[in-house]
Amino acid sequence: AGTPDLTGRHVVVSAGGTREPLDPVRFLGNRSSGKQGYALARTAAARGARVTLLSANAGLPDPAGVDVVHVGTAVQLREAALKAAGDADAVVMAAAVADFRPETYATGKIKKKDGEEPAPIALVRNPDILAEISAGRPRPGQVVVGFAAETDDVLANGRAKLARKGCDLLVVNEVGERKTFGAEENEAVILGSDGTENPVPYGPKEALADRIWDAVVSRLPHQE
Ligand code: PMT
């Protein structure tokens, strides 16, 4: 660990992937393992921060010295994030949040019926947590960080997403069925709303996490 430059700060990190239930046995989900978000939580704690980790279906052990709140769906993650962000110096949204959820939840297992075509699944939009926190800034000077998980035109999509979401920093990483998701390593470009673009070469997810905290620390207002 380097300098304890997050001492006295409260940071909120989301990790993992939301699951949007269809019925008691099925859900719509994604391939996030939670490793990048947990690396952010561990490195922030090592740098002296009080850390609240909002964990969505990560299945990883709770990191030592970190407050962990377990959530399932995007709606639950939003509620936990808005509550934790109230007094946070920084919020980092590393969780993969479902943009849509099934419109209805069947309380019993959906059955297939002989000779019938499968029924389409109607979806409704989930709240955009990152955009809401960026717009609301519950605490003055709060630094808000998002991620962009892209498969194509990675940097162009990342730049557009930074403008759309209104956050201070956006960490753009390329994903695929076996790329980034679940891996021990990652590479990314950290985009700043001030126009900065800092590439972080392929390496352990902890190393990327430390570069993200460096960028956060340089944007935090001085402590009284
Ligand atoms: O967990 P790992 O296996 O280690 O993999 C890491 C990762 C690929 C999940 C991570 O590095 C990553 O990219 N996380 C963000 C995934 C994602 O949801 O990206 P997005 O481009 O769909 O969303 C953009 C941003 O908006 C993200 O910060 C996301 O948390 C946020 N968001 C998205 C939708 C929504 N409804 N609310 C949100 O807050």
Assess if residue 180 is contained within a domain: yes
Assess if residue 15 is contained within a domain: yes
Q: In angstroms, rounded to a whole number, what is the distance separating the alpha carbons of residues 103 and 96?
A: 20
Task: Give per-residue pLDDT as tens, 151-171.
Answer: 999 999 999 999 999 999 999
Assess if residue 2 is contained within a domain: no
pLDDT band at 3 (very low <50, low <70, confident <90, very high): confident
Assess if residue 5 is contained within a domain: no
Mutate to test the pocket of ligand 1, among 38, 100, 147 (most ligand atoms within 8 A of CB): 147
ipTM at complex level? 0.99
Ligand 1 atom at minimal distance to the Cα of residue 175: 8
Q: In angstroms, rounded to a whole number, what is the distance separating the alpha carbons of residues 120 and 162?
A: 33
Assess if residue 31 is contained within a domain: yes
Residue 1 pLDDT exceeds 60: no
Assess if residue 115 is contained within a domain: yes
Task: Tell me the Ramachandran region of residue 72: left when phi exceeds 0, alpha when psi lies from -120 to 50, beta otherwise.
Answer: alpha
Task: Please report how the helices 35-46 and 205-219 are oriented relative to each other, as an axis angle in degrees rounded to 10.
Answer: 60
Q: Give the residue numbers marked as catalytic.
A: 30
- The CATH number of residue 129's host domain is 3.40.50.10300
Ligand 1 atom at minimal distance to the Cα of residue 150: 21
Range(s) of the domain holding residue 144: 10-219
Instruction: Write out residues with Cβ below 6 Å of ligand 1.
Output: 32-36, 74, 93-97, 99, 126, 128-130, 146-149, 173, 175, 180-182
Ligand 1 atom at minimal distance to the Cα of residue 173: 13
Residue positions forming the annotated binding site for CTP: 99, 109, 127-130, 147, 161, 165
The pTM of the full predicted model, rounded to 2 decimals, is: 0.97
Yes or no: say if 57 and 14 are a contact pair by the CB < 8 Å rule.
Answer: no
Task: Give per-residue pLDDT as tens, 103-134.
Answer: 999 999 999 888 999 889 999 999 999 999 99
Q: What is the pLDDT of residue 224?
A: 75
Assess if residue 1 is contained within a domain: no
Instruction: Report how many domains make up the chain.
Output: 1
Rg (CA), the chain: 18
Q: In angstroms, rounded to a whole number, what is the distance separating the alpha carbons of residues 151 and 174?
A: 6
